[in-house]
Amino acid sequence: MSSSNAAYTNKEVLHRYMQLPTHGNVQCMYIWIDGTGEGLRCKTRTVDFEPKAPEELPVWNYDGSSTGQAEGSNSDMYLHPVALFDDPFRLRPNKLVLCETYKYDKRPAETNFRLSCRKVMDRAKDEHPWFGMEQEYTLLNQDGHPFGWPQRGYPGPQGPYYCGVGADKVYGRDILEAHYRACLYAGVTISGTNAEVMPAQWEFQVGPCEGIEMGDHLWIARFLLHRVCEDFGVVASLDPKPMPGDWNGAGCHTNYSTFAMREENGIRHIESAIEKLAKQHKRHIMLYDPNDGQDNARRLTGHHETSSINDFSAGVANRGASIRIPRQVGEEKKGYFEDRRPASNCDPYRVTEAIVRTTILDDWEEEACGYDDDY
Ligand code: ADP
Ligand code: MN
Ligand code: MN
Ligand code: MN
């Protein structure tokens, strides 16, 4: 293991303890999104049964003043379990528990975008919206230097790295492989992986997922990525432009279809959805990263396989457009399209909600956040 990691511990020693029986106790790791809208937090509690549904688990609390979500004087926040996954680190029957966050007065936390997403997905459920999100990320050493890059200077220019193979082409495949298996074990609908255009940059795809499951599965897949990287002493960055200059940024392309788009001649529905998206370009850009488009402004330059943040465009097989219709979809005249604008650090709940509001509900009136009646 790298000597730069001062906090390194021997995983073989750990392994011995992880074999110990737990006498019917089940460890449930509650996971939630913190006040940055980007960071994840987690803590564990023991229960004496194996939960089969999130409702079986207790609501829990945490210190919101330590996660950027509350004042110190009134800091108790609530964790509301909403989805269960198998824990690939502690193994079955232990669980990962995705949670929504609520304030003391039952209002959702500012970064709980799942609540309004869930309501929008419920209103649109008859259209069966499917999503597939391509999560790009960059591996960094703990000092912030891209993993595998020379300590001084740069690797050779982009070209040989995308989908590359060989020690001079890709850096950190172990992490990609470990994460892929961890996702499969957990029950995340991961559909594939590849090496990206910039060396030390990788991608995994989650989907197709229907409705609220898109956000749930992508957030857990991100948690697994950070957790796997922790084991390797490496950091996964979701910064949309980690290296300035002639290096590709990182996005979270969002593939989307409705039932009608997937049927014969669904291309008509794809085209009318794109016309609606064109009219809401600015609104979508505001929602496609956690900082109102500022993060994406560094990435969506019109170069490096992106469209300019200021323009909306669409085209078959065009990777320089905001929206790309895959060539096969153009030929079969049905299928899905790809929104290439979301940044790698986007909140999938906000992205998928925005797409459904624009293309299905035609409704941007109703306020996005409010009390949760079911809470
Ligand atoms: P790209 O060619 O843009 O790199 P990828 O193969 O990386 O595409 O990702 C394609 C994504 O589209 C995957 O997440 C996949 O699950 C998703 N997808 C496939 N079919 C559909 C569909 N009908 N509706 C929505 N998403 C889909
Ligand atoms: Mn891809
Ligand atoms: Mn990609
Ligand atoms: Mn893509």
Query: CB under 6 Å to ligand 1: residues?
Result: 130-132, 134, 191-192, 205, 207-208, 253, 255-257, 262, 335-336, 338
pLDDT at 115 over 90: yes
Say what the pLDDT of residue 72 is.
80
- Tell me which residue of 121, 128, 118 sits closest to 261, measured CA to CA: 128
Ligand 4 centroid – CA 330 distance (Å):
16
- When pLDDT is cut at 50, 70 and 90, the band that residue 74 belongs to is confident
Residues in contact with 231: Cβ distance below 8 Å, sequence separation at least 6, in sequence order: 11, 178
pLDDT tens sequence across 212-247: 999 999 999 999 999 999 999 999 999 999 999 999
Residues in contact with 16: Cβ distance below 8 Å, sequence separation at least 6, in sequence order: none
In the chain, the domains with their CATH numbers are 11-109 (3.10.20.70), 121-361 (3.30.590.10)
Q: What is the chain's mean pLDDT, rounded?
A: 95
- Mean pLDDT for the stretch of residues 22-49: 98
* Alpha carbons 341 and 323: distance in angstroms, whole number: 8
- When pLDDT is cut at 50, 70 and 90, the band that residue 1 belongs to is very low
Say what the pLDDT of residue 3 is.
47
Please compute Rg for the chain using Cα positions. 21
| CA nearest ligand 1 atom 13, residue | 132
pTM above 0.95? yes
Six-digit token string for 281:
């370009």
Percent of the chain exceeding pLDDT 90 equals: 92
pLDDT at 85 over 50: yes
- When pLDDT is cut at 50, 70 and 90, the band that residue 371 belongs to is low
Pocket test for ligand 1, best of 134, 319, 325, 334 (most atoms within 8 A of CB): 134
Pocket test for ligand 1, best of 255, 262, 323, 341 (most atoms within 8 A of CB): 255
Higher pLDDT among residues 8 and 57, named by residue: 57
pLDDT at 121 over 70: yes
Say what the pLDDT of residue 372 is.
63
pLDDT tens sequence across 253-296: 999 999 999 999 999 999 999 999 999 999 999 999 999 999 99
Percent of the chain exceeding pLDDT 70 equals: 96
Identify how many contiguous H helices and E strands the chain contains and give both numbers: 10, 13
- Mean pLDDT for the stretch of residues 174-198: 98
* Alpha carbons 324 and 315: distance in angstroms, whole number: 5
- When pLDDT is cut at 50, 70 and 90, the band that residue 167 belongs to is very high
pLDDT tens sequence across 134-161: 999 999 999 999 999 999 989 999 999 9
pLDDT at 349 over 60: yes
- When pLDDT is cut at 50, 70 and 90, the band that residue 18 belongs to is very high
**Angle CA 286–289–295, to nearest 5:** 100
